[in-house]
């Protein structure tokens, strides 16, 4: 009885501590690949008898929870920690996995930026330029750089034999790209997504949004291409931003989350890129 009262008191006194933990989940996706969720963020874990692969740690709290969960559920040591790109909101918490037996890896530009910006996480001890394959027993992870798209040194991760592909931020399924595309390179997003579709995979996991398949990724690419094409067309016809935001409708994508709110912002982002990169505003004035 005393124990029951104590438990009740603890629960009622610290709801936030429990609510925080409830945000963390580790769920099977396919084969030995698991998706780690912390709020709106996703990462990947691949346990094998020879050790465990971990992608983005997301935050110190998330990483602490994950480390314990891996030990409890799989009883295999973490061997690799790999960052998807440089942004702090995916890479914080790396220090939780700061042990000599764990190799921390990123693309070289991601490491460079983490150092420059003094991001408070574990700094990678191994980098690569184009691609790198990691082996854990019978499983492999293929890491690939596709050029500029979002942030710096952003890569795809392909898990075999599970046949799962993981990309963060520049491919988001079921939702429009983020607001006015601040920090995104629309040309690079299109080119990188085309390259990703040349890689065989059956299941796609994103750092945000829902999980899907090749067709979902192709549909996302279709949206990017349509958005870009329509903005170029409208700008060449002399439309202002306000006119484009009124006239451009991509109704075939209206089921995507944030379609109403973010389409005008996506249009603004592409138009801004055309000015910054191609001086399209100056071309049109001539």
Binding site for Zn ion (CB under 5 A): 169
Tell the smallest beta-carbon distance from residue 169 to Zn ion (Å).
4
* Residue 103 near residue 125 (C-beta atoms within 8 A): yes
- Give the integer Cα–Cα distance in Å for 74 and 102: 16
Neighbours of 114 (CB within 10 A): 25
The answer for residues whose C-beta is within 8 angstroms of residue 134's C-beta and 6 or more apart is: 53, 80, 82, 105, 140, 141, 143
* Residue 231 near residue 248 (C-beta atoms within 8 A): yes
Nearest to 101 by CA among 84, 83, 76: 76
Tell the smallest beta-carbon distance from residue 45 to Zn ion (Å).
18
Q: Which is nearer to Zn ion, 44 or 280 (CB)?
A: 44
Q: Which is nearer to Zn ion, 169 or 268 (CB)?
A: 169
Tell the smallest beta-carbon distance from residue 39 to Zn ion (Å).
11
Tell the smallest beta-carbon distance from residue 236 to Zn ion (Å).
33
The answer for residues whose C-beta is within 8 angstroms of residue 6's C-beta and 6 or more apart is: none
Tell the smallest beta-carbon distance from residue 54 to Zn ion (Å).
17
What are the start-end ranges of the H helices in the chain?
A: 2-13, 15-22, 60-74, 88-91, 108-116, 186-196, 214-236, 241-247, 259-278, 280-285
Q: Which is nearer to Zn ion, 194 or 208 (CB)?
A: 208
Q: Which is nearer to Zn ion, 169 or 216 (CB)?
A: 169
- Give the integer Cα–Cα distance in Å for 162 and 151: 27
3-state SS class at 204: strand
Tell the smallest beta-carbon distance from residue 208 to Zn ion (Å).
6
């Amino acid at each position: 009885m005393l124990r029951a009262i104590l438990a009740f008191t603890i629960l009622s006194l610290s709801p936030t501590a429990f609510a925080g933990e409830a945000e963390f989940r580790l769920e099977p996706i396919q084969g030995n690949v698991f998706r780690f969720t912390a709020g709106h963020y996703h990462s990947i874990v691949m346990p094998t008898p020879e050790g465990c692969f971990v992608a983005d740690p997301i935050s110190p709290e998330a990483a602490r929870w994950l480390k314990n969960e891996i030990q409890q559920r799989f009883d295999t040591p973490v061997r690799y920690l790999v960052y998807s790109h440089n942004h702090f909101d995916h890479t914080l918490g790396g220090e939780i996995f700061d042990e000599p037996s764990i190799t921390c890896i990123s693309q070289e530009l991601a490491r460079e930026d983490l150092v420059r910006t003094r991001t408070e996480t574990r700094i990678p001890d191994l980098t690569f330029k184009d691609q790198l394959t990691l082996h854990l027993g019978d499983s492999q992870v293929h890491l690939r750089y596709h050029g500029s798209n979002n942030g710096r040194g952003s890569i795809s991760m392909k898990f075999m034999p599970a046949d799962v592909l993981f990309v963060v931020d520049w491919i988001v399924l079921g939702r429009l790209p983020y607001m006015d595309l601040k920090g995104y390179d629309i040309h690079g997003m299109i080119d990188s997504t085309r390259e990703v579709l040349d890689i065989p995979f059956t299941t796609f996991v994103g750092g945000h949004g829902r999980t899907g398949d090749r067709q979902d990724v192709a549909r996302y690419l279709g949206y990017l291409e349509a958005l870009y094409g329509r903005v170029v067309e409208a700008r060449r016809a002399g439309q202002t931003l306000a006119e484009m935001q009124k006239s451009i409708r991509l109704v075939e994508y209206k089921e995507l989350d944030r379609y109403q709110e973010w389409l005008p912002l996506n249009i603004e982002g592409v138009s801004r890129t055309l000015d910054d990169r191609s001086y399209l505003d100056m071309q049109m004035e001539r």
